[in-house]
Amino acid sequence: MSRRVNPLLRLDLQRWRMRLMLGVLFAGYAALSARAMYLQGWQDEFLQEKGDARINRLLTIPAYRGMITDRRGEPLAISTPVESVWFNPRESEATPEQVAALAGLLDLDLAALNKLFKDKSKSFVYLRRQLPPDVAAAALALGIKGLYTKPEYRRYYPSGEVVAHVLGLTSVEDKGVEGAELVYQKLLAGEPGLKRVAKDRRGNVVEVLESVKLPRAGQDLALSLNLQIQYLAYRELAAAVQQNKARAGAVVVLDAKTGEILALANLPSYNPNNRSTMSNERARNRAATDAFEPGSTMKPFLVASALEAGVVRPETRIDTGAGYLTVGDKTIKDVHPKGNLTVAEALQVSSNVAMAKIVLEMRSEDYWRTLNRAGFGAPPYSGLPGESSGRLRPYDSWRPIEKATMAFGHGISVSLLQLAHAYTVFANDGWMPPLTIAKRREAVVGQRILAERTAREVRSMLELVTQDGGTAPLARVIGYRVAGKTGTAHKLIGGSYSPDKYLSSFVGMAPASDPRLIIAVMVDEPSVGVYYGGQIAAPVFSRIMAGSLRLMAVPPDAPMEASTGPNATAPVVAEGV
């Protein structure tokens, strides 16, 4: 039989193929073995990195936010540890009873929660943020697969609505969004830390491997506020707003010597611990952000400017005639004719006609310069967000009637904070300290605005305003000499003056012999039939000033007799508006 047809030859060919395949398999195995030896012997770091990438994670350690205190160390804002509850829908498993229990525990809508558990398109969903730790622990105790907690901090404000507009508040991410919390965010926030942990395939932390970076706590911040004076100011403002059925109100209390804000209160307010009470209307820091026409509280600046320019002296007499003055096609009026007045008397009874006559004798540039140097038309730079610059138009654009009305606070707009700050010029014999909401720790360097003699003369005139025959006998304080000025202005609404809506204000200082405090009060739209600043705002000033001077132990500069206190029986001197 030929070899070509012998079956054994074909069998030999199959054995060859088998040997070839076995050789290939052994070669592949040898290559894999060599690769494994190479990776494990010389490239073990590569494998370690791949393993770590699957089980090791870096977790953020939240930093403790710095505490905010008043000037005496009383806590105004503190951080407390809380927990946020979240879950991974892709790995979550829960019985209907567990979901119902979780909804009840976290105060969530059951139908919405069921929908979240069924939606497997996401891997991370917050259920509730900033919960008390015991509530979060109770949620975990339900044993729901895929449910986790995350440690955080929540801001707590012990004084609630009383200091809300100064402090502001933080977001759920613990970042400042209003007030001092926003302005001093970088100082207060600190820096979060990092830790490396090992997680199983379900995302559970099974081991803390190392601390990569320790968290750095934020720095504490001491504000210039005196919490006792702040409570007093808020209480008296709230009583006045309620008593006069007003739309809103604001109070600013300044340390006349240092420019520190000792109190700043607004109504309506909100409770930063309960964000449901917050709205745009309630969250506005009216004292700093709202500009209004100040009315007669601007008259002392006109008188000071006229004295500086040599146009008048305190004893200069001005004939107000029948109580009206025509400028162009407009008429300026006093409520009652006041006849022939000295400059001091004109300021005491708040004569619009007298002030208009004075300003029309002056160069517009001189009056504008005084207002500009006193801070009008520019933010007061106190450290509060959203400060209003007000409105002070260039003097070369003033028409005669505009110049005349600016003498008694129309055609110019200011914030209450600006107004209080400007009055430090009269309290400090012409010097003006910079304003601040942070506690001062070094000497104040102010700026001279007026000559010492001018400031003293105006302050003496302002003291007459609070005496019988002036517009503010209700501003007096037993045992102290008080100087100040009332303001009553029609509200500017939609470009025109409302005939029956007013802003009532008073700005004053005490003790007048050497002023320590300046208090500015504004009540918006009193609606009980009276609206003069001397009737509405002056009594609020008197009560806040009396309590503040006692709290600060400021020595009296007048007899401790009833005759030096508010005089409710003095005739009301009507103020032109």
Q: Which two tokens stand for residue 138?
A: 């109770």
Comparing CA positions, the residue from 212, 263, 246, 252 lying closest to residue 417 is: 252
List b or e across 393-432, with b for residues whose CB sees 16 or more CB atoms inside 10 angstroms. Answer: eebeebeebbbbbbbbbbbbbbbbbbbbbbbbbbbbbbbb
| Residue 296 bears catalytic tag | yes
Comparing CA positions, the residue from 289, 243, 285, 256 lying closest to residue 268 is: 285
Comparing CA positions, the residue from 502, 499, 480 lying closest to residue 547 is: 480
Distance, CA of 217 to CA of 322 (rounded, Å)? 69
Sign of the C-alpha dihedral computed for residues 346, 347, 350 and 351 taken in this order? positive
- First and final CA of the chain: distance in angstroms? 138
Distance, CA of 225 to CA of 480 (rounded, Å)? 23
Sign of the C-alpha dihedral computed for residues 444, 447, 453 and 458 taken in this order? negative
Cβ proximity of 344 and 461 under 8 Å: yes
> Can you list the positions of beta strands (E) in 70-157?
75-87, 125-131, 147-156
The secondary structure of residue 176, as a DSSP letter, is B
Helix (H, G, I), strand (E, B) or coil at 568: coil
Comparing CA positions, the residue from 158, 196, 190 lying closest to residue 176 is: 190
* Cα angle 368-369-373, degrees, rounded to a multiple of 5: 120
Beta partners for residue 210, in sequence order: 196
Residue 216 has a CB neighbour count (10 Å cut-off) of 13
Distance, CA of 367 to CA of 303 (rounded, Å)? 9
Helix (H, G, I), strand (E, B) or coil at 508: strand
234 φ, ψ (degrees, to nearest 5): -65, -45
Question: 335, exposed or middle or buried, with CB in 10 Å at 0-12, 13-18, 19+?
Answer: middle
Q: Which two tokens stand for residue 358?
A: 């004075």
The secondary structure of residue 65, as a DSSP letter, is P
Residue whose entry in the numeric block shows the structure tokens 């054995």: 15
Cβ proximity of 225 and 382 under 8 Å: no
The number of residues making up the chain comes to 577
One of 224, 296, 350, 542 is an active-site residue; which one? 296
Helix (H, G, I), strand (E, B) or coil at 57: strand
Q: Which residues are marked as active site?
A: 296
